[in-house]
Structure 1
Amino acid sequence: MSVRLEKNGAIARLVLDRPEARNAINMDMWRAFPGLIANAVSDRSIRVLELRAAEGSGAFCAGADIKELLANKDDMDWRDANQAEINRVQHELARAAIPTVAFVDGDCVGGGCGLALACDIRVATKRARFGITPGKLGLVYPLHDVKLLVDLVGPGQAKRILFTGQLLDAAEAQRIGLIEIIADQTDELIEDILAASTYSAIENKHFVRRVLDGQVDDDNHTLRMFGAAFTREDFEEGTRAFVEKRKPSFRG
């Protein structure tokens, strides 16, 4: 299989491993993603999900498998099924219950860029380049992925990226908000996430998603979740640690 799930303590990693195709994503890979994401999210020991390429891949992801796309371009049923799988993966990754981090080293193009967009935080090396290139193929980028892009960079920069298909280096990607951090690894970021309350991260992630999906005022659910936090062990531990001037030890 060209995508797999690895677990190490509280961290799960979705690993793209198809180096012969620069990690281009084919139908089998799209179909494999949901089960792997569900496996990570349902494991109560896992607190962070990282998306990365296997060592030595040469690219984070070259995008969709164009050879497979050309071979099936006249098959409407295949095209519809392929698009449904892409939409499912993007939707489930963007709404995974735990924090998600994309680590990008090398080119991150098209559908690969969509995967990075669907993660909560993007870390990239200086070697990374980002591009969304359907405009160079006469195609259209999926609406859900366009929304993820606009949410990050705004409509003007999104149009620039989509209209031109340009490859942006890591510095430019960070300048416009496409990525958050330029670094050679994610260890420090993930350690900081794990040191904080996972309960807080999960609920704050839900709140951010609600805002991105158009909610602007509290409702009964958000008010209830805000109030419930004061009754949980994490609040007790966090406040005790603050008073005692020590780092909190959350159970996760």
Structure 2
Amino acid sequence: MSALELTVSGGVATLRINRPEKRNAMTSEMWRQVPSLIASVAADDAVRVLVLTGEPHFSAGADIGEFGRVRSDPARGRAYDAVVEEAEQALTRLGKPTIAAVRGYCIGGGCELALACDLRVAAAGARFAITPAKVGLVYSLTGVQRLVDTVGPAWAKQLLFTAEQISASTAERIGLVNEVVPDDRLADRVSALAASIRHGARTSVTGAKFLVERLARSAVPDAATAALYDQAYSGADYAEGVAAFLEKRPPSFD
């Protein structure tokens, strides 16, 4: 059984971390597999949303047990960090919406994976922490940027400085997660959220993701932004949306 399992159903891809005996800790090989799995999601036109999850824990982070081999010196450490960075960037650059469904521990590299997703929904019992301070490491630059963008500088510093675990309710209060739901409602809520996204206009959803990511880094319009609007206005989704509104019926974007 693979430690990373990708399934597709009804336009929703689910990437499940499946190493429960190690609380879904990520090995270097698992990190290496992420970009190719995300690439297959990107290439499948039927997939509209990706859900990243794990049971009974989202992920306890990187597998520290292998650090003596894969992070034994600066050169190996840099190589390992590059693999993790590539996995994170594969998620952030995917042109389709991503949802992290978080249950149990979401620690260290696990939290970095969740932050690389567009939305995060947590079960009430979930626990979050960013823990490089516990092992003498420095969190990746892109990971810190994403954290600051999400929770602001003050909370980013507290999480990084202390490595303390925080509850799902605290994570929601500081903006680390979008929603917290009862543990037995997590799957249903994520499924409903994915369905809402899947039934929306593809042009609108992918355009919104592009613009939010662009504005997080620069508010200056450019040729790519202009082309995005041109494509929307000349696209089938826009035509269907206007027609449905005028005809007083639900739009059909599939």
1:118 aligns with 2:116: yes
Question: What is the match of residue 107 of structure 2?
Answer: 109
| 1:206 maps to which of 206, 210, 219 | 210
Q: Where does the alignment leave 5 or more consecutive residues of structure 1 unmatched?
A: none
- The 8 Å contact of residues 71 and 80 in structure 2, kept in 1 or not, is answered as no
Identity between Structure 1 and Structure 2 (%):
42
In 1, the alpha carbon distance for the partners of 2:72 and 2:131 equals: 21
TM-superposed CA distance for 1:7, in Å, is 1.1
- Further displaced range: 155-164 or 198-207: 198-207
Q: How does 1:235-246 map to 2 (within 5 A)?
A: 235-246=238-249
TM-superposed CA distance for 1:62, in Å, is 0.5
- The 8 Å contact of residues 34 and 90 in structure 2, kept in 1 or not, is answered as no
- The 8 Å contact of residues 4 and 36 in structure 1, kept in 2 or not, is answered as no
In 2, the alpha carbon distance for the partners of 1:138 and 1:60 equals: 23
1:194 aligns with 2:198: yes
- The 8 Å contact of residues 3 and 18 in structure 2, kept in 1 or not, is answered as yes
In 2, the alpha carbon distance for the partners of 1:33 and 1:220 equals: 31
| 2:85 maps to which of 84, 87, 99 | 87
TM-superposed CA distance for 1:75, in Å, is 3.8
TM-superposed CA distance for 1:27, in Å, is 0.6
How many matched pairs?
A: 247
- What is the RMSD computed on CA atoms of the aligned residues? 1.3
| 1:74 maps to which of 66, 72, 75 | 72
Counterpart amino acid of residue 172 in structure 2: Q
TM-superposed CA distance for 1:6, in Å, is 1.0
| 1:215 maps to which of 215, 218, 237 | 218
Tell me the TM-score normalised to structure 1 length.
Answer: 0.94
In 2, the alpha carbon distance for the partners of 1:59 and 1:221 equals: 39
- The 8 Å contact of residues 23 and 60 in structure 1, kept in 2 or not, is answered as yes
TM-superposed CA distance for 1:78, in Å, is 2.8
Question: What is the match of residue 43 of structure 1?
Answer: 44
In 1, the alpha carbon distance for the partners of 2:226 and 2:47 equals: 27
SS at match of 1:246: coil
SS at match of 2:221: coil
TM-superposed CA distance for 1:5, in Å, is 1.0
In 2, the alpha carbon distance for the partners of 1:98 and 1:208 equals: 13
SS at match of 2:14: strand
SS at match of 2:36: helix
SS at match of 2:32: helix
1:98-150 Cα distance to aligned partner (Å, 9 max, x none):
11111001110000000000000001110111110111222111111111111
Q: Where does the alignment leave 5 or more consecutive residues of structure 2 unmatched?
A: none
Counterpart amino acid of residue 209 in structure 1: E
Tell me the TM-score normalised to structure 2 length.
Answer: 0.93
